[in-house]
Structure formats: structure tokens, C-alpha cells
Chains A and B, each alone.
Chain A
Amino acid sequence: MSTATDHPTTAASLQQYLTEKRATGSRLLMPYITAGVCPDWLELVDAVIDAGADALEIGIPFSDPAIDGTTIQEATVVALDAGMTPARALSELQQRQFGVPLIAMTHYNLVYRYGHERFASDLVAAGGLGTILPDLPMEHAHDWRAAADAAGIENVLLAAPVTTDERLAQVVEQTKGFVYVVSTMGTTGARDGVDDAASVLSRRVKAVTDIPAIVGFGISNGETAVTAAKESDGVIVASALMRRILDGATVEEAAALIAEIRQALDAAYPPA
């Protein structure tokens, strides 16, 4: 593994890091931040880590975010208008040290255009340990996986409620880092209640693999996080966090959401 072993804050791999965290008994909390969503987005990264994030997804904005709901689309427009690019996002991240692993989440075209090998090595330099490319299904992921593997980047695959058992077996075999459990059939976006589909799917995933299963889509507060984490290993908080920033919240106000969710998770599932 050529992961940043000199990085004082990360384990050798994302999966190892998440598995060790999980072993303490606590649920994993993984906020998502669109790079460039606000001028001080790196402060926001620091603040949500201080608020209790175990790892962080960094969204790299793409012009045609077909997989994203309205809030992330809005964040994308703001970031693109501010001039955010993949290279800029990675180089800005590289200037700081973060205490937790970073995972790049974007549409595959940006990685494809950047060049697989170059993206993988620049992501490692930025402190990245993983990627989530929802529009790159495993059937077409061979080239990216080869480059990612060589650089020590783990490519996370998604499982959806409609994913068949047969396909789920392939997903858990090929995913690295964790399994991204899509809690509802819709695109990303905070919802009042997390679909029961999240519990059903989490149980299905955990029945066939020991790789951490983390629920994304629709986690908006402590209550929905606790529900989503019941059968899973943790939650992703994206739209609800970005919503606060887009509505003008300060970095501290936005990070308070993560603190609230951390507290709720720890109260419901106390770490040993």
C-alpha cells in the first residue's frame, strides 16, 4: 500500500480505519461537503471534524449532477460559479492536514478527464483514501479500479433497495472501504423520515459481508441518524449539512448539526 503512511492521522486503509472505529462500538458519522460551497469550505471541513466526524466525503462539483438532488445541485452551482475545479479542490485539501480520512465523491467524467493515474496520485497527496463514483457501475470500473488499487485508493460501491441478491453479492465482493447503502430510491436529499428500506437493505448487506455498511441519503438530524444507524454501521450526512450553508449559516452553525448527530448517535449506541 502506498497510502500516505506519513499522514499521522490515517490508518493504512479506509476500510481498516472504519473497521477499527466500528470496533469501539460507536456508529460511524461521515459528513459530505461540496468543495467550494462557501469561500471558507476548508474551515467547514475542520469544524465538522471537530464536531465528531469519523471520515469526510468531499464532493467535487460537476456540471451535470444527474445523481444529485436539488440541494447538492444548488451547492454544485455555487461551487462551480466560484471557480472550483477538481485540481483546485485537491490542491486546497493538500495544504492542510485533517485528522480523518477523506473520500472524494464525484461524477466519473471528472476522474476520466483528469486521468485515472493522475487523479489517484493527487487524491492520495490530498489525504484521500477512497472514492465514491455513483455513476461508475462495477461493470465499467475496471480501469479506475486498477489505478486506484495501485495508489492505495479504495473505490466504494453503492447498494440500492432494488439491487438484487445476486448483484449485491458482486457489490460486496468488489467494494472497498465500505458499502454505501442507498436508503431510498430517490436522488440525494434530506427527508423527514428515513425509509424503512434503509433498515431492510442494511440487514441484507450485513448478512453477506463484514465490510462496514453506511447509510446515505436522507439523514437530516439526530433522530433520522439514530434510525438509519440501527441496522447499519453508520450514516452519511450530505444535503442537510449543505442546506444550512446554502441558507447562509456560518461554519459553526452548520457544524452544530454534525455535533447534534454525533451526540444522538453516541447516546443511542454508546462507544465502549
Chain B
Amino acid sequence: MTTAPVASPNQMGAPDELGFFGEFGGRYVGEPLMGACQEVETAFIDAWADTQFRQDFLHILNTYGGRPSPTTECGNLSEQLGLRLLLKREDLNHTGSHKINNVLGQALLAKRMGKTRMIAETGAGQHGVATATAAALLGMSCTVYMGEVDMKRQELNVFRMRLLGAEVIPAMSGSRTLKDAVNEAMRAWVSEVGDTHYCLGSVMGPHPYPWMVRTFHEIIGTEARQQVQDLTGGLPDVAVACVGGGSNAAGLFAGFADDESVRLVGAEPAGGAAAGRGVPAIVHGMKSYFMQDEVGQILEAESISAGLDYPGLGPEHSHLALTKRAEYYPVTDEEVLESFQLLSRTEGIIPALESAHAIAWVVKAKEELQGQTVLVNMSGRGDKDVQQVQEILER
């Protein structure tokens, strides 16, 4: 399989031909979806090897998505914590999070494949908004599946998606959160595969999605690597990102995975710590760590942030955890709420609740990080969460 170069070919290269990163990944889908996955794989390999496609992708990222996003030095919080804190500002992207990188890549790919419609799952609504945005831009129709519970938690994002012309369908089964939205989207894809592209929002699902989505997000890590060098003259000691499915972390890590001196840290919600508490499972088309009961029923994650409310994580993260190239630590909702306020107060940056997990780990680990350069992926902005946080704080 020939593919274009990736940021860290040794630690985060292409999966094997069955889609495995070590022992995780694969393509555990029913026969009706097998052809669709193969079609996406073939199209992605072909597109990514095409200089013109990559130029088009970069052009749309820059002129529409707002890239490159800056890296910000956090003077006030650095002083308070006794370390050098840098933020990769994915929150400044169009639609407010890193999600736009992946959806612009997939939307261009879908166009190239001749698809006229995109479907997507969403948790917090960020990926749904991003997909609806890309669909509007490229003249495609769009349907987003969202857990009914999440629709209530993130009403504004539901309205945004509808404003952008997308149809939002509530996932009513199970816990009515992200994992159920994934189930619904996969079901829908089966029956509409002819004209529809499934724009999966994280580094998960059947091959080639974990690999493709990470590849579209690698620009986070490659930009950050250069920017940190420009600012500090060297590499960071630690690169930190929140992990639900793990797309923003995968994009960041990809920029540093082959730099052995750089620690890679994923911050998981304590109520959804798949890398920390999980055991391998086969769900949602992949083999990866999932929280499950003793017989293999998947447990419901619980997190203050809808975007991380997922009981598993992407297979490449499971691989990085097993090989110990990356470390994954849980943070609690309380720690997240404190960090949400801390960053707002000290730096004038209101983080997404998801991204506040990464800050929370830094605050928690500050003793061991004294004097170090710590790069945090500020994966999204907190506008969508302000109302929810207000309600919690004023309770």
C-alpha cells in the first residue's frame, strides 16, 4: 500500500492492510458495509497520494477553516503553575474546534467519490456543526444523528446545525448519547450507502476511518511542532490533549510521536476512562479498549462533557497505550470545572469542557511538570458550554 508521507511514520504510521495498529483496529462490520468501507479506503489512498487533492485540502483549511491556528504562550497561568504552558489554538478555527479539519477533508473526499449527501454522528454537537458547515459549503445535503440526551445538553448546537441546513435526528436508543448516535449513523449508512458518505467524527470505527481521520488532523501536530520550535527554540517536554474517541489527541500526537523526548499525554474523563479502565472489545467496527461489564456489554460513559461521553477510544490510542508511547490519565468533572474557570480567568480563554480536561491534567500534574514546556491542544472553545457551566455553578 503506497501512501503519502505521514508526520511520524515510525510510531504513528499507516495501519496494516487489515486496518490494525498492532492488535487494535480492523474492520468489524457486517457484509452490507464491507464494500462501502473498502470504497472509502480506496478513495482515501488515491486522494491522499494526489498532490492536487492535498493542495485543495490545504487551501480550504487556510482560506475557509482559518488555518494555521496560532500557538499561544500562557504567561499568567505558566507563572502560577511553575511551568511553560503553550496552547495550540484549535478553538480559533471556523466552527470553534479542531473538528473542521477532518470534515473538510472528508467532504472533499465525498465530493471526489461522487456522493451527494453526508451523514454524521455527534456528541457535543461540534462534529455535527462542522459536518453541516462543510456540507453547506460544498453543496451537499446533511443528516446528523445525535443522542436525545445530548440534544438537550447542547440545544444551541442543534439549532446551529438546522440553521446550516442539516437535518438532526435524535438517537433514542440505549443511553441516548454519543455511542447510540454512532449506532444510528451506522445503521443509516447501511441503507443509504449509494449516494451517502458517512463522515465519522473521530479516530474510531472501521478501517480506514481511524487512520484517515487522524491523517486529516495531523496538521494540528505538524503546525504545533514548528510553532513551538519558533517560540522556544526546541520541542515541548509534554504534549497533552483530551481524549474521548481521541481525534484531536491523535492529530497532536502525530506531530511528535517520533520525537522520543516528547511525552504524549491523553486526559480522559474519569467516567469514561477507556484506556485506563478498559479491556479490549469489538464495537463500532473496531477492536479497541472499551469500558464493559464482565460479559462484554458496553457500559455507558458519564462525563460533564458530551464530546467525551464515549465508553471507548480509537484503536491507535489503544495501541499507543499498550506500547506505552502515550500515557492516559483520568480527570474528574470537578477538576475540569475548576480548570474551565482557571483558564478563563488567567488567560481570557474560555475552553470547551472537553479541552478543559487537558488543562485539568496539567494542573493536577504540575509538581512533576515544574520548569517543563507543556503544549496543550486547546481543541475547542467554550461558548457552547457556558450555559451548562453557569447552571452547575449557580446550583
State whether the Cβ of A167 lies closer than 8 Å to any Cβ in chain B. yes
Residue in B32, B36, B280 with the greatest tally of chain A CB atoms within 10 Å: B32
Query: In the complex, what distance in Å separates the CA atom of A64 from the CA atom of B281?
Result: 12
Q: How far is the CB of B325 from chain A (nearest CB, A)?
A: 24
Q: How far is the CB of A130 from chain B (nearest CB, A)?
A: 17
Q: How far is the CB of B294 from chain A (nearest CB, A)?
A: 8
**Interface bits B264-289 vs A (CB < 8 Å: 1, else 0):** 00000000000000001111110000
Q: How far is the CB of B361 from chain A (nearest CB, A)?
A: 29
Q: Which of A26-34, A94-102, A106-114 sits within the interface?
A: A106-114
Q: Which residues of A contact B295 (CB under 8 A)?
A: 85-87, 110, 113-114
Query: In the complex, what distance in Å separates the CA atom of A63 from the CA atom of B296?
Result: 9
Q: How far is the CB of A195 from chain B (nearest CB, A)?
A: 11
State whether the Cβ of B174 lies closer than 8 Å to any Cβ in chain A. yes
Nearest residue (CB) in B for A186 is B191
State whether the Cβ of B117 lies closer than 8 Å to any Cβ in chain A. no
State whether the Cβ of A73 lies closer than 8 Å to any Cβ in chain B. yes
Count of A-B contacts with CB under 8 A?
A: 113
Which of A69, A135, A159, A163 is within 8 Å of B187, CB to CB? A69
**Interface bits A154-165 vs B (CB < 8 Å: 1, else 0):** 000111111110
**Interface bits A165-200 vs B (CB < 8 Å: 1, else 0):** 001000100000000001011110000000000000
Q: Which of A15-23, A36-44, A136-144 sits within the interface?
A: A136-144
Q: Which residues of A contact B27 (CB under 8 A)?
A: 137, 139-140
State whether the Cβ of A249 lies closer than 8 Å to any Cβ in chain B. no
Query: In the complex, what distance in Å separates the CA atom of A185 from the CA atom of B32?
Result: 6
Given contacts A66-B284, A86-B295, A109-B296, contact A186 B190 (CB under 8 A): yes
Q: How far is the CB of A198 from chain B (nearest CB, A)?
A: 13
Inter-chain contact B179/A64, CB cutoff 8 Å: yes
Given contacts A85-B295, A135-B282, A139-B18, contact A64 B35 (CB under 8 A): no
Q: Which residues of A contact B284 (CB under 8 A)?
A: 64, 66
Range class of the A interface residue count? 35 or more
Given contacts A64-B298, A186-B191, A187-B191, contact A158 B31 (CB under 8 A): yes
State whether the Cβ of B29 lies closer than 8 Å to any Cβ in chain A. yes
Inter-chain contact A163/B296, CB cutoff 8 Å: no
Which of B31, B186, B283 is within 8 Å of A137, CB to CB? B31
Q: Which residues of A contact B174 (CB under 8 A)?
A: 63-64, 77
**Interface bits A69-89 vs B (CB < 8 Å: 1, else 0):** 100010001001000011100
Q: How far is the CB of A49 from chain B (nearest CB, A)?
A: 27
State whether the Cβ of B26 lies closer than 8 Å to any Cβ in chain A. yes
**Interface bits B288-319 vs A (CB < 8 Å: 1, else 0):** 00001011111000000000000000000000
Chain B contributes a number of interface residues (CB within 8 A of A) equal to 34
Inter-chain contact B193/A185, CB cutoff 8 Å: yes
> CB within 8 Å of B: which of A239-270?
none
State whether the Cβ of B348 lies closer than 8 Å to any Cβ in chain A. no
Q: How far is the CB of A242 from chain B (nearest CB, A)?
A: 15
Inter-chain contact A113/B298, CB cutoff 8 Å: no
State whether the Cβ of B365 lies closer than 8 Å to any Cβ in chain A. no
State whether the Cβ of B8 lies closer than 8 Å to any Cβ in chain A. no
Which of A62, A137, A140, A161 is within 8 Å of B297, CB to CB? A62
Q: How far is the CB of B263 from chain A (nearest CB, A)?
A: 32
Q: How far is the CB of A264 from chain B (nearest CB, A)?
A: 27
Chain A residues within CB distance 8 Å of chain B: 62-67, 69, 73, 77, 80, 85-87, 107-110, 112-114, 134-137, 139-140, 157-164, 167, 171, 182, 184-187
Could you give 27 example pairs across A and B, Cβ below 8 Å?
Answer: A64-B179, A64-B180, A65-B183, A66-B283, A66-B284, A67-B187, A86-B295, A109-B282, A109-B292, A109-B296, A109-B298, A110-B296, A110-B297, A113-B296, A134-B31, A135-B282, A135-B285, A136-B28, A136-B282, A137-B31, A139-B26, A140-B18, A158-B30, A160-B32, A162-B36, A162-B193, A184-B191
